[in-house]
Amino acid sequence: MAPPGAFGHLSLALGAAVAALGSILFIAWRTYFPGGGRWGARWEPPLAAGQGPASATPLLLLIRPLLSWQLDFSMRQVLVLGLKGAGKSSVLHYISSEAAKDRTAPTQGFNSVQVYADGFQIDLLELGGSQNLRFYWNQYLSQAHVLVFVVDSADRPHLPTARQELHWLLAEDPRLPLVVLANKQDKSDALSVAELHRELALHTLNGQREFFLLPTSATHTALATATSIRHVKSLLVELLSQL
């Protein structure tokens, strides 16, 4: 008969093995059956322009489930979409930094910034707005906690396209909270929020989702005004902290 000390060690080792196996099974379940609400969303590397899904190395395949399991608890993802030139990168710039910026380079593929608030990390992911990239937009909806749709309020010729793209996205997910930014309000020919509400047919939205329409100016001089990007950041923190 083995001494009691040996039993103690054996039961400890067995307990550790069961806990480890349980963790592995849980991670595998969360990874391959992510249907348990938005918190089950997996993070995938975004597509670069004109590419299919990024090929995963064996090492990445091995660690990705662990990474996504870790990130799920503290990360909220905000998907930032809108036509090319609407001001998405500028909005991201002023959300993450208040430093002046004269101009932004056009986004090739995607652009991502992280900000920290109230104990969680907000990952803002901008996907390029050119026609070839818009094709991929809907693939990122299931991972998002909030959709921010940026519109150039002075670009009247492209408003019908913006409306069409927005409603196409909304049809894919009837519950995803939506924040529409009526951007470039500093321009003299910018449409008002009320006019954009009509032009973008926002009255047709169903009551299932939280919806906000904010006038913004993604410029350094506007940071202290009523159209400041600071209001967008506060709204996002409020929305995301409710999750």
Q: Which does residue 219 bind out of ligand GDP, Mg ion, none, counting CB within 5 to 8 angstroms by kind?
A: ligand GDP
**C-alpha distances in angstroms, 57 versus 35, 63, 64, 204?**
25, 10, 10, 45
* Residue in 37, 73, 103, 204 binding ligand GDP, rule: CB under 6 A: 103
Cα 217 to chain centroid, rounded: 20
90 binds Mg ion (CB under 5 A): no
Region 127-166 residues binding ligand GDP, contact defined as CB under 6 A: 129, 150
DSSP 112: E
Helix (H), strand (E) at residue 27? helix 4-32
Dihedral sign (CA 18, 19, 20, 23): positive
Q: Per the structure block, which two tokens stand in for 67?
A: 């990474």
77 or 107: whose CB is closer to ligand GDP? Answer: 107
- Which segment (7-15, 25-33, 51-59, 183-191) binds ligand GDP by CB under 6 A? 183-191
- Which segment (34-42, 181-189, 205-213, 233-241) binds ligand GDP by CB under 6 A? 181-189
Cβ at position 38, least distance to ligand GDP in Å:
25
219 binds Mg ion (CB under 5 A): no
Residue 88 · residue 125 · CB < 8 Å? no
Q: Residue 146 pairs with which residues in a beta bridge?
A: 78
* Residue in 183, 202, 214, 240 binding ligand GDP, rule: CB under 6 A: 183
- Which segment (51-59, 88-96, 137-145, 231-239) binds ligand GDP by CB under 6 A? 88-96
Question: Angle at the Cα of 116 (from 122 to 208), degrees rounded to 5?
Answer: 35
| Structure-token match 């067995």, residue found | 14
Helix (H), strand (E) at residue 146? strand 146-152
198 binds ligand GDP (CB under 6 A): no
46 binds ligand GDP (CB under 6 A): no
Cβ at position 107, least distance to ligand GDP in Å:
5
Q: How far apart are CA 158 and CA 120, in angstroms?
A: 36
- In the complex, which residues of this chain contact ligand GDP (CB under 6 A)? 82, 84-90, 103-104, 106-107, 129, 150, 183-184, 186-187, 217-219
